[in-house]
Amino acid sequence: MGVVALVPAAGRGERLGYGMPKALVPVNGVPLLVRAVRGLLDSGRVRHVVVAAPPADVDVVSTVTAPSASAGGAVHVVAGGAERSDSVRLALEYALREIPGTTVVLVHDAARAFTPSAVVAAVVDAVEAGHPAVVPVLPVTDTVKEVDDRGVVTSTPDRARLRIVQTPQGFAADVLLRAHESGLHATDDAGLVERLGVPVLTVPGHQDALKITTPFDLAVARALFPEDGR
Ligand code: CTP
Ligand code: MG
């Protein structure tokens, strides 16, 4: 089957505050985006990667990711949009227009640059086994409270039933397209698909798939992933 990975990488990285788009921030010499693209291609399941880049940085992102293409897959770069969901939609439209035979689509944040290839493979395999939507998750280790506008606790959900959601999220291509054409809003792609009434399967994620959001996260990544590995 034709597996295409969309990589939203068009954010500004304001919370990281590094003075450049987060996707281009290096961790021990390798930009986050490059690590994310390599992780996808190294899974052996992904043939095409479509990166949504900051519109002003399409050329630099193309240059930085081009060497990864020789690792067994093609890398395409498109201009992203104002919101993450716009970037995903633009990359999806490109994939469905330009890459014939696209049947499975992954959506993978550049900010989750250290996701093990085994997680990518597990998500693809579950979609190819017939699940229309698949997300990697971790158990919740903290107790979680719901609060009202004044900060007063209104409930304590059963932690055993909660999961932290990571990427890549995998979808049958037609399901993701329908979700993005629905006009609905959600904080992740699986959230859109859920609202269509499509079941979303969870598979085990990995701690290494942490999202690099703040300087703390970057410090953790620099300590955990000192080597390029190549
Ligand atoms: N993203 C995107 N297009 C946008 C906004 C975000 O493609 N308009 C991407 C980011 O590049 C990132 C992923 O979506 O890979 C998750 O977003 P987030 O972690 O919030 O990254 P930023 O938006 O860059 O960070 P911040 O919100 O701190 O500015
Ligand atoms: Mg953001």
Which residues are registered as beta bridge partners of 135? 202
User: pLDDT 10s digit of each residue in the chain, 230 long?
Assistant: 699 999 999 999 999 999 999 999 999 999 999 999 999 999 999 999 999 999 999 999 999 999 999 757 999 999 999 999 999 999 999 999 999 999 999 999 999 999 999 999 999 999 999 999 999 999 999 999 999 999 999 999 999 999 999 999 999 999 999 999 999 999 999 999 999 999 999 999 999 999 999 999 999 999 999 766 55
Check residue 226 and give its pLDDT: 79
Range of the domain at 93: 2-134+164-224
What is the reported pLDDT for 8?
98
Task: Determine if the pTM surpasses 0.85.
Answer: yes
Determine the pLDDT at residue 70: 74
Whether residue 219 is contained in a domain is answered as yes
Is 150 among the domain residues?
A: no
The H or E element containing residue 179 is: helix 173-181
Protein residue with its CA nearest to atom 13 in ligand 1: 109
Locate all alpha helices (DSSP H) within 31-160, ordered by sequence: 32-42, 58-69, 84-98, 117-128
Q: Which residues contact 59 (CB under 8 A, 6 or more apart)?
A: none
Q: Is residue 200 part of a domain?
A: yes
Q: How far is the CA of 101 from the centre of ligand 2 (A)?
A: 31
Classify residue 211: in a domain, yes or no.
yes
In a domain, 156, yes or no: no
The count of domains in the chain is: 1
> Is residue 201 in a domain?
yes
State the closest ligand 1 atom to the C-alpha of 81, by its place in the atom list counted from 1. 8
Question: Is 139 part of a structural domain of the chain?
Answer: no
**Among 6, 40, 84, residue to substitute to test ligand 1 (most atoms within 8 Å of Cβ):** 84
CATH code at position 15: 3.90.550.10
In a domain, 153, yes or no: no
Ligand nearest to the CA of 61: 1
Q: Could you identify the residue written with the tokens 């932690």?
A: 159
Ligand 1-lining residues (CB < 6 angstroms): 8-16, 22-23, 52, 80-84, 87, 109-111, 211, 213
- Check the CA dihedral 42-80-201-138 and report its sign: positive
